[in-house]
């Protein structure tokens, strides 16, 4: 490998500086589209430390770290932090480095392959001006660029290892391959390159053996070096991490949207964000094909060179994977690591660059002058092709909103002050950063606003007192459910009982930022003012833009609850903390019915918990509920509905054959109703696609209409004939009904859009056919309605299951203003509780009294008084509209609704996040009626300036030729943070007709669906037990020690970290503990092996390091019942292996508590009757990391030893 001259280095450096001039020379930290590096020394230190643990304490509730492959990078960041290089300087240097390094390595590769120096320099430049380089740099994925920088170097060593038959080069290749694993896709990219070069390297049988030997060494080194993350990933039982089919997730599938033959050919579409492609001028489009053209031109001029074929094979990888499709990729083993095909464009790009450089080299070496001139022209054109780089596209303006670029941002200094304030806190606590989520949208800097514009919340993610929340449920594990629910409440500005809820999460501080907007555009200011109104969340410190609140209701990381609350419903946590006599030191067990029906162990657990719970909370299920879920599901179904491509004209032989095939497809699924329904609805959608294509063909349309109706009717019959045995089946059936309703609505909309297409000439015939469709949809509507849940606005029916006989208090809660109740009927004995005039306040549980309930299922009905109509006859005047009392008549003449055909009025008392029922009577002749609701919302607020927008919430056209009055009814949900709304009606006439459209009896009611709960406080069990005292200490994020004193009776230990089976509890100081456990021989052997490893490791570590004690007390709670000692971050000490010789205790009573946390129910029998002892809580997969790290370290030392000895031999003996 030839050394680069200073000129080459300086050249690449200057080019990189020029490309990045807009961010490198701007003040502030560089932020990518969706990634950011830690910026302060504290953050860098946190980032470095987290690389060594299989459990991360960087996220709010903690989660398993399955992919520890970034450790080398984290070590680098830690090293820089030790040197004191932090902030914008190191990020800028790093960014420049990921440009210079790949250019340099490509320069080396080209020279290695025999190219001239000048051509190789150009090759390096070409490499860093490709589209993938632009996109990954702009999004901030520097590690991809680093990995692609290592690739040429690794290839040089690999070729050398085979050609020179030297193991030292194979070791170096393996070492570089391991290093490139900081980007997980390198796992596949690198072997692909090695395999494709087999053609170049293998000429004889002997070569084949040498190649195999080299490859074997490379993989052995790779496996050994990466054992530190391989072992925890593959052997910690991380199901749900590697088999999630992540490649089929919407995020991954989004990248497929940019893939096409054309884009793959020119190595475009590496990211959904499409930054390079958006910046590429249209005038230069032909130039974008120059890259593949020149690359494949080498097949002409260099057809005798073997390496050309290896590179051409490599360039085909993307297209082959693209043709195989996402389903195939998802089926591959460990596909989560490979994820999406778009990222393979880096491989094609790599091969293109090498091929082009080799071709240019041929041109410049050739004696013919013409070829040299062509070579120069090609170079110039390739430089022009990099237009987006030269013109500053990397940091330039966005073209579409989603094509986010690099930006420099100077974080307010207050963030550092806050960091320092939190650093001073000695306790093991958490801090919640608002808004939750990983993306921040600044109100005072528009570059960081909008759907894709946000920046990564680095101060929350690397906070000294953790506060960040993850992006996906896959990352968050057991905490996902609670985190998402909490985020939803906060986004909707529902702060009631927040303090008590946060206490269960060990959150002591809440950080709110004035310049950061919440989702739905709620300004940070409003969040701060809402928090200021809270009694139990008090302002501790404030700066100009940042406000630090302290949670007065705080529970330490470990605690022993005095009250055990058992609840029948999974969603009850928010309700329970809002109860009047809720005690802070509580532990809440929520019954999960879904798990219980599948898992026998869960049933036993629930029975056990019910037995020792001293409070029961039963949430009644509203039978005729109209909730968020209904609308969410319906929207999801509507949005994911396919309208497949159709190729056979209805009536044709092909169509008839296709229908037969459809019948056969349905027959195959006859025993799977869910899938059969999907199939039937899919085929109904096919009919709509056919209408879209053959709308002008009368005969075809008749067939389509009939076939569509038939399919939907069949789907309805299928649901009707379903046998519903249990709750799960009820849920499945309900979902199917929502699905059919969603399809009905979407199909109707599509048919409307087909008939409103400009190309369609309107005549009587068309109008007639439209009427046929509307009539058909009405008939189907009539059939679907009986399947749907009946909702009665005034008589609300509730179901509940009483687990234990007793005197329960009946509670009721409703959102919105005061509501009035009439009476309550308990069906069991038809007893009526008269509640005339009883009122409840917004979001507060009101006690309706106490009564006895027997064990088992019960029903009750709540009768509400007459609901208030929110509209009156106050229509705004519109020309040519006759407004009469209790009704409006239109006389429109045009096809589109003109202003004179529109009436509107304000809806009184329209509030955020509420459901409204809307109904009216209508009739029309010669036209149809449309209606809509316009919501008023604040879009943007800066100081006194308020920009409002009006958003159409619901729009529907109701068309009929009937002379009779028809009734229309629907339910709509208001958006969060609305100021009010208006309802409007308009008319649309049929072509060439004078329409007469009437409507009357418009009623809009707010839907009141109070929540009903039953509660019992079994005081008899309380105060009998004496709680032990505990003192705990954090050793590191995967290990905690708890000293227990005075444990005379059974108790529950709660650990406020997200639940994971990997958390194990060990007991110290009980010598006969091992005797209690009986295992199979194999397990015994395994246990023996583990103990031996543990003992040996402990002895070896003891030579170098000493154990650290409990240290000073840092906090005390509940009159000294719980104490915290100074926490540590000890990665290694002799005591690290102390549990390896022990067996975990109470594994069968390790339960989920508080909807996310770990709890162990410990009895005196478990501790052999001892009252004072020490417990160790440890995350088991960390052991695998220690073992893996040992293997990695040994491999590294062995490799370095081998290389070193080789080097010394060479120097001394040769």
Partner 1 sequence: MKKFLIIFKRHHWYSLFLFTVGIFFDICFLKFTSSLFILFLVFLWIWTVIDWQLEGKFSIFGGLILLIVSPFLLILKKDPIAEKVAAWVYVFLATGVIQQLIELKMGKKLE
- Nearer to partner 1 among residue 308 and residue 1008 (C-beta): 308
What minimum distance in Å lies between the beta carbon of 252 and partner 1?
22
- Token readout for 41 is 């020394």
- Nearer to partner 1 among residue 309 and residue 755 (C-beta): 309
- Nearer to partner 1 among residue 55 and residue 280 (C-beta): 280
- Nearer to partner 1 among residue 231 and residue 342 (C-beta): 342
The DSSP secondary structure of 801-831, one letter per residue, reads EESS-EEEEEEEEBSSS-EEEEEEEEGGGTE
What minimum distance in Å lies between the beta carbon of 293 and partner 1?
5
Which spans of this chain sit near partner 1 (rule: CB under 8 A)? 203, 260-262, 264-265, 285-286, 288-289, 292-293, 296-297, 299-300, 303-306, 309, 312-313, 316, 319, 645, 647
Q: Which residue has the tokens 């807009």?
A: 22
What minimum distance in Å lies between the beta carbon of 664 and partner 1?
20
DSSP annotation of 1145:
B
What minimum distance in Å lies between the beta carbon of 264 and partner 1?
8
Cα separation, 95 vs 221, whole angstroms: 29
Length of the chain: 1214
What minimum distance in Å lies between the beta carbon of 110 and partner 1?
17
What minimum distance in Å lies between the beta carbon of 649 and partner 1?
13
For 1051, the 3-state DSSP assignment is: strand
Cα separation, 159 vs 114, whole angstroms: 13
- Nearer to partner 1 among residue 646 and residue 1035 (C-beta): 646
Nearest one of 482, 586, 455, 419 to 63, comparing CA atoms: 482
What minimum distance in Å lies between the beta carbon of 315 and partner 1?
9
What minimum distance in Å lies between the beta carbon of 356 and partner 1?
14
- Token readout for 489 is 């409440």
**Residues 6 or more apart from 659 whose CB is under 8 A from it?**
707
Contact between 63 and 477 under an 8 Å Cβ cutoff? The reply is yes
- Nearer to partner 1 among residue 296 and residue 411 (C-beta): 296
Q: Which residue has the tokens 């009357």?
A: 1000
What minimum distance in Å lies between the beta carbon of 211 and partner 1?
16
Nearest one of 847, 1155, 795, 797 to 1014, comparing CA atoms: 847
- Nearer to partner 1 among residue 10 and residue 285 (C-beta): 285
- Nearer to partner 1 among residue 182 and residue 265 (C-beta): 265
Which sign, positive or negative, has the C-alpha torsion 469, 474, 479, 480? positive
What minimum distance in Å lies between the beta carbon of 352 and partner 1?
13
Per-residue burial over 131-141, b = 16 or more CB atoms within 10 Å of its CB, e = otherwise: bbbbbbbbbbb
Cα separation, 831 vs 326, whole angstroms: 59
In angstroms, what CA-CA distances link 997 with 767, 891, 893, 986?
Answer: 16, 7, 11, 9
User: Element (H or E) spanning 1033, and its range?
Assistant: strand 1029-1036
Contact between 329 and 335 under an 8 Å Cβ cutoff? The reply is yes
Cα separation, 1036 vs 1127, whole angstroms: 8
What minimum distance in Å lies between the beta carbon of 302 and partner 1?
9
What minimum distance in Å lies between the beta carbon of 1155 and partner 1?
49
- Nearer to partner 1 among residue 362 and residue 895 (C-beta): 362
Specify whether the backbone of 508 is left (phi greater than 0), alpha (psi in -120 to 50) or beta.
alpha
- Nearer to partner 1 among residue 324 and residue 1092 (C-beta): 324
Enumerate helices (H) and strands (E) in the chain, giving the number of each: 40, 41
- Nearer to partner 1 among residue 305 and residue 1064 (C-beta): 305
Strands of 732-794 (E only): list them: none
- Nearer to partner 1 among residue 306 and residue 1018 (C-beta): 306
Helix axes 698-720, 727-755, angle to 10 degrees: 170
What minimum distance in Å lies between the beta carbon of 269 and partner 1?
12
What minimum distance in Å lies between the beta carbon of 300 and partner 1?
6
Write the secondary structure of 491-508 as one string of H (helix), E (strand) and C (coil): HCCCCCCHHHHHHCCCEE
Nearest one of 26, 18, 150, 135 to 91, comparing CA atoms: 26
Cis preceding linkage at 698, omega within 30: no
- Token readout for 217 is 């060494």
DSSP β-bridge partners for residue 1033: 1041
Specify whether the backbone of 967 is left (phi greater than 0), alpha (psi in -120 to 50) or beta.
beta
Cα separation, 846 vs 852, whole angstroms: 18
Cα separation, 1115 vs 1126, whole angstroms: 9
- Nearer to partner 1 among residue 97 and residue 316 (C-beta): 316
- Nearer to partner 1 among residue 292 and residue 468 (C-beta): 292
Cα separation, 950 vs 952, whole angstroms: 7
Cα separation, 998 vs 964, whole angstroms: 11
**Residues 6 or more apart from 901 whose CB is under 8 A from it?**
878, 880, 881, 890, 892, 894, 986, 987, 988
Nearest one of 1052, 1071, 1122 to 586, comparing CA atoms: 1052
- Nearer to partner 1 among residue 265 and residue 770 (C-beta): 265
- Token readout for 112 is 């290695």
- Nearer to partner 1 among residue 282 and residue 967 (C-beta): 282
- Nearer to partner 1 among residue 293 and residue 940 (C-beta): 293
- Nearer to partner 1 among residue 263 and residue 1155 (C-beta): 263
What minimum distance in Å lies between the beta carbon of 138 and partner 1?
24
What minimum distance in Å lies between the beta carbon of 319 and partner 1?
5
Cα separation, 740 vs 637, whole angstroms: 9
What minimum distance in Å lies between the beta carbon of 126 and partner 1?
18
What minimum distance in Å lies between the beta carbon of 995 and partner 1?
39
């Amino acid at each position: 490998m030839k050394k680069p001259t200073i000129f080459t280095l300086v050249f690449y450096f200057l080019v990189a500086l020029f490309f990045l001039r807009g961010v490198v020379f701007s003040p502030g930290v560089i932020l990518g589209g969706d990634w950011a590096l830690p910026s302060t020394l504290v953050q860098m230190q946190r980032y470095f430390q987290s690389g060594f643990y299989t459990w991360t304490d960087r996220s709010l509730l903690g989660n398993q770290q399955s992919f520890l492959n970034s450790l080398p990078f984290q070590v680098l960041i830690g090293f820089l932090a030790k040197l004191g290089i932090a902030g914008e300087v190191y990020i800028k240097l790093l960014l420049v480095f990921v440009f210079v390094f790949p250019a340099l390595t490509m320069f080396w590769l080209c020279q290695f392959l025999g190219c001239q120096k000048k051509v190789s320099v150009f090759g390096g430049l070409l490499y860093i001006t490709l589209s993938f380089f632009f996109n990954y740099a702009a999004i901030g994925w520097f590690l991809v660029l680093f990995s692609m920088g290592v690739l040429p170097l690794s290839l040089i060593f690999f070729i050398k290892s085979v050609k020179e038959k030297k193991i030292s080069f194979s070791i170096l290749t393996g070492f570089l391959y391991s290093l490139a694993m900081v980007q997980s896709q390198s796992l596949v990219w690198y072997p692909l390159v090695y395999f494709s070069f087999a053609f170049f390297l293998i000429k004889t049988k002997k070569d084949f053996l040498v190649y195999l030997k080299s490859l074997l060494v490379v993989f052995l080194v790779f496996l050994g070096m990466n054992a530190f993350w391989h072992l925890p990933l593959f052997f910690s039982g991380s199901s749900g991490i590697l088999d999630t089919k992540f490649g089929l997730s919407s995020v991954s599938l989004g990248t497929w949207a940019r893939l096409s033959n054309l884009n793959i050919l020119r190595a475009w579409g590496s990211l959904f964000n499409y930054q390079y492609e958006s910046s590429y001028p249209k005038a230069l489009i032909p130039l974008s094909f120059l890259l593949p053209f020149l690359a494949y031109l080498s097949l002409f001029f260099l057809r005798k060179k073997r390496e050309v074929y290896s590179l051409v094979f490599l360039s085909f990888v993307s297209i082959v994977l693209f043709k195989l499709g996402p389903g195939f990729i998802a089926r591959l083993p460990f596909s989560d690591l490979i994820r999406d095909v778009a990222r393979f464009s880096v491989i094609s790009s790599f091969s293109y660059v090498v091929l082009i450089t080799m071709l240019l080299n041929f041109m410049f070496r050739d004696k013919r002058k013409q070829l040299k001139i062509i070579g120069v022209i090609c170079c110039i054109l390739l430089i022009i092709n990099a237009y987006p780089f030269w013109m500053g596209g990397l940091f330039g303006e966005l073209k579409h909103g989603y094509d986010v670029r690099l930006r420099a941002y100077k974080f307010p200094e207050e963030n550092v002050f806050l960091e320092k304030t939190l650093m001073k806190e000695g306790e093991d606590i958490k801090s919640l950063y608002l808004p939750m989520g990983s993306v921040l949208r600044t109100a005072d800097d528009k570059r960081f606003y909008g759907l894709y514009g946000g920046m990564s919340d680095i101060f929350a993610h690397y906070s000294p007192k953790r506060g960040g929340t993850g992006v996906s449920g896959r990352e968050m594990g057991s905490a996902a459910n609670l985190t998402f629910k909490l985020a939803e409440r906060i986004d909707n500005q529902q702060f009631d009982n927040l303090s008590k809820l946060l206490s269960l999460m060990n959150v002591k501080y809440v950080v709110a930022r004035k310049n950061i907007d919440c989702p739905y555009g709620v300004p940070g200011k409003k969040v701060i003012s809402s928090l200021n109104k809270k009694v139990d969340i008090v302002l501790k410190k404030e700066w100009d833009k940042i406000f630090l609140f302290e949670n007065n209701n705080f529970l330490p990381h470990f605690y022993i609850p005095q009250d055990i609350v058992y609840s029948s419903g999974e969603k009850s946590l928010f309700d329970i903390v809002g109860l009047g006599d809720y005690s802070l030191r509580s532990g809440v067990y929520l019954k999960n019915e879904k798990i219980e029906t599948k898992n026998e162990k869960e049933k036993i657990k629930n029975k056990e918990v019910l037995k020792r719970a001293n409070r029961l909370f039963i949430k009644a299920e509203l039978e005729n509920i109209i909730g968020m879920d209904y609308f969410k599901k319906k929207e999801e179904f509507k949005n994911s509905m396919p309208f497949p491509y159709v190729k056979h004209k209805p009536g044709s032989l092909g169509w008839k054959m296709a229908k037969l095939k459809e019948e056969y497809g349905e027959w195959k699924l006859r025993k799977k109703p869910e899938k059969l329904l999907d199939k039937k609805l899919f085929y109904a959608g096919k009919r709509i696609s056919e209408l879209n294509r053959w709308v002008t063909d009368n005969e075809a349309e008749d067939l389509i209409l009939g076939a569509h109706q038939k399919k939907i009717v069949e789907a309805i019959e299928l649901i009707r004939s379903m046998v519903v045995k249990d709750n799960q089946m009820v849920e499945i059936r309900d979902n199917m009904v929502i699905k059919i309703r969603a399809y009905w609505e979407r199909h109707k909309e599509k048919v409307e859009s087909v008939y409103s297409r400009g190309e369609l000439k309107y005549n009587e015939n068309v109008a007639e056919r439209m009427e046929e469709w509307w009539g058909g949809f009405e008939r189907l509507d009539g059939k679907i309605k009986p399947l749907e849940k009946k909702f009665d606005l005034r008589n609300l029916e509730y179901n509940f299951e009483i687990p234990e006989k007793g005197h329960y208090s009946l509670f009721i809660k409703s959102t919105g203003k005061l509501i009035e109740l009439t009476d309550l009927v308990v069906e069991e004995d038809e007893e009526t509780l008269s509640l005339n005039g009883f009122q409840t306040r917004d979001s507060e549980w009101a006690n309706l009294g106490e009564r006895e309930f027997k064990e088992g299922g019960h029903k009750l009905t709540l009768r509400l008084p007459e609901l208030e109509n929110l509209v009156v006859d106050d229509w705004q005047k519109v020309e040519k509209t006759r407004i009469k009392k209790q009704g409006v008549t239109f006389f429109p003449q045009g096809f589109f609704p003109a202003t004179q055909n529109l009436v509107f009025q304000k809806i009184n008392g329209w509030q955020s996040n509420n459901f409204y029922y809307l109904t009216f009577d209508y009739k029309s002749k010669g036209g149809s009626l449309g209606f809509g609701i316009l919501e008023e919302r604040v879009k943007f607020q800066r100081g006194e300036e308020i920009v409002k927008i009006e958003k159409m919430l619901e729009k529907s056209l109701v068309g009929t030729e009937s002379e009779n009055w028809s009734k229309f009814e629907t339910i709509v949900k208001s958006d969060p943070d609305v100021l009010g709304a208006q309802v409007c009606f308009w008319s649309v006439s049929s072509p060439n007709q004078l329409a007469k459209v009437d409507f009357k009896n418009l009623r809009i009611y707010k839907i009141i669906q109070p929540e009903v709960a039953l509660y019992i406080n079994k005081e008899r069990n309380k105060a009998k037990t004496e709680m032990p005292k505990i003192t705990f200490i954090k050793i590191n994020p995967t290990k905690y020690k708890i000293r227990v004193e005075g444990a005379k009776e059974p108790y529950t230990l709660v650990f406020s970290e997200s639940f994971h089976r990997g958390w194990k509890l060990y007991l110290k100081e009980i010598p006969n503990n091992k005797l209690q456990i009986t295992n199979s021989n194999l397990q015994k052997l395994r246990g023996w092996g583990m103990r031996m490893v543990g003992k040996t490791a402990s002895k070896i570590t003891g030579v170098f390091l000493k154990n650290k004690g409990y240290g000073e007390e840092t906090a005390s709670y509940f009159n000294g019942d719980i104490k915290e000692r100074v926490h540590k971050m000890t990665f290694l000490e002799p005591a690290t292996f102390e549990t390896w010789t022990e067996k975990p205790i109470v594994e069968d009573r390790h339960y989920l508590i508080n909807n996310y946390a770990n709890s162990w129910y410990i009895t005196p029998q478990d501790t052999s009757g001892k009252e004072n002892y020490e417990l160790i809580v440890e995350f088991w997969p960390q052991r695998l990391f220690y073992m893996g790290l040992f293997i990695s370290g040994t491999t590294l030392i062995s490799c370095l030893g081998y290389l070193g000895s080789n080097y010394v031999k060479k120097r001394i003996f040769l």
